[in-house]
Amino acid sequence: MDAIKEALAPLIDRLPPGVRDFLDAGGWWLVLALAALLILLLVAGVLRALKRALFGRRHTGATDFDRDLRIELIECPLPVRPPLPQRLTVYHLPVRLRLIVVAPSGTELSVDPMSVEKLLDFVVPGLSAQCQLDRPRIRVWPAQFSHQGFAAAFHRCTRKAEAEGLPSRWVLVAGKFHVGTRTVHIGFGFWADEANAVGRLTLEPHQWLDVLRIKTAEG
């Protein structure tokens, strides 16, 4: 303490008498405590800035991107009207539409949410009528650059209440289809009449008509 007082003597001599008396009466310890606290705060700030500079990129990748894409399936609306005589099926399992996710295949393309319903007949003829009846939740995602990338994101971001692998009434199907020369990615959340083990599917354009069918109750 004496060494500090000696080093700071030129400054102390310029202080008002009341301040000098305060320091001599023990105020130096308060000054030192405040100085130590200030140093700790500065060091902590430097360490946080260094951590962000070194590791910040690890938190700005797919996890942050997924945050805006995640869908809790339980929040998707249930159909309120009875099904049509022509039932939509997945592998012959009757289902209703609760979710549709669409994304363009490149940055030069865009999808209007209001036009999604009209696009569905390019996937399976008659699917737009099912959409009009069931009124599913419709989401448009940013452009995806690969079929595999969209399908992986869709299956990763659609969350069921049941653990993966257990029977569920949810059937989740992702794939792509063509509208003229355009390619569009699409994902469906189907609600089956019964719990089943179909789970999650990823389809190529030529597989839609084999997996999704619209048929009468008798058929």
Q: What percent of the chain stands above pLDDT 70?
A: 77
The CA distances from residue 84 to 28, 65, 98, in Å, are 85, 38, 15
Nearest Cα residue to 200 out of 211, 209, 210 = 211
Higher pLDDT, 25 or 120: 120
Q: How confident is the model over 143-165, as a mean pLDDT?
A: 89
Average pLDDT score, the chain: 83
- For 205, half-sphere exposure in the C-beta direction (CA atoms, 13 angstrom radius) is 12
pLDDT at site 58 = 46
16 vs 28: CA distance, rounded Å: 15
Q: How confident is the model over 137-141, as a mean pLDDT?
A: 94
192 vs 96: CA distance, rounded Å: 6
Write out pLDDT tens, residues 82-129: 988 889 999 999 999 999 999 988 765 678 888 899 999 999 999 999
This prediction has a pTM of 0.69
Higher pLDDT, 105 or 18: 105
Q: How confident is the model over 211-219, as a mean pLDDT?
A: 78
pLDDT at site 59 = 43
Nearest Cα residue to 104 out of 114, 92, 116, 94 = 116
Write out pLDDT tens, residues 192-209: 999 999 999 999 999 999
Indicate if the pLDDT at residue 45 is higher than 60.
yes
Model confidence at 22, pLDDT cuts 50, 70, 90, reads: low
Question: Which SS3 state, helix, strand or coil, does residue 151 take?
Answer: helix
